[in-house]
Amino acid sequence: MRVAVLASGGKDSTYASWWAHMKGWSVEALITVKILGDDSMMFQLQNTEVAEFQAESMGTKWIQVISSGIENDEIDELESAIRDSGIGEIDALVVGALRSDYQKTRIERMCEKLGIISFCPMWHHDPKLHMNSLIEHGFDVRIISVSSEGLDESWLGEKITKESLERLTVLSEKYRFNLDGEGGEFETITLNAPHFRKPIHCEGEISWNGVRGTWNLTKILLSP
């Protein structure tokens, strides 16, 4: 099966691309939506350019879709970009949606119009099992933004390990946020994964306003 993966550079879309790889499918491209505005109901905002380096590490094509982020336009912009992408005939689009019916429903409708299948391999997976699976399989996941009570500046740039996941679990229970960040409490990038040929190296600067913050990447490259 020939598939494309909707890739933000974060943990869930990277896991989805690995899932497709493990299925033995041909991943023809990673498709990244770059939002020009300050908000999106569908797509990650921060540091999505890392997906270009993920695609290079996987030996596949990278397609960037520029989107306004306007609620009723962004899925149409993605659909048009896929039609015009030049990746040829694909059978399916693989996405990393976890529990967002809003996202999943719109992706499914778009895929129906394109005549392809949509796959959400982690749909409604248990958050703790999902996070542990990332660690156990060697995903190098870093937190790049936080916007929830209980998550302070110290989490920016933090690698998700067994130890940090334990701390995150305690905080998620105390402050009642989603352990996997599905509610936007935090966003991530992935610097290494089982199907990457080379890990990604990056450097960044922290921006913090006292309540929320981001780790803004200033340098990204593939390790030798």
Q: What is the 3-state secondary structure (H, E, C) of the chain?
A: CEEEEECCCCHHHHHHHHHHHHCCCEEEEEEEEEECCCCCCCCCCCCCCHHHHHHHHHCCEEEEEEECCCCCCHHHHHHHHHHCCCCCCCCEEECCCCCCHHHHHHHHHHHHHHCCEEECCCCCCCHHHHHHHHHHCCCEEEEEEECCCCCCHHHCCCECCHHHHHHHHHHHHHHCCCCCCCCCCEEEEEEECCCCCCCEEEEEEEEECCCCEEEEEEEEEECC
Query: Is the dihedral angle over the CA atoms 112, 81, 42, 129 positive or is it negative?
Result: positive
Q: Is the pLDDT of residue 108 over 80?
A: yes
Per-residue model confidence (pLDDT) at position 70? 86
Residue 36: per-residue pLDDT: 87
Q: Domains of the chain by range and CATH?
A: 2-119 (3.40.50.620), 127-222 (3.90.1490.10)
Residue 134 pLDDT > 90, yes or no? yes
User: pLDDT of 23-46, one tens digit each?
Assistant: 999 999 999 999 887 778 788 888
C-alpha to C-alpha distance for 206 and 141, rounded to whole angstroms: 17
Q: Is the pLDDT of residue 72 over 90?
A: no
Average pLDDT of every residue of the chain: 95
pLDDT band (50, 70, 90) for residue 85: confident
**Per-residue model confidence as pLDDT tens digits over 74-84:** 999 999 999 98
What confidence score (pLDDT) does residue 222 get? Answer: 98
Predicted confidence at residue 41, as pLDDT, reads 78
* Strand-pair category, 117-119 with 92-94: parallel
Percent of the chain topping pLDDT 70: 100
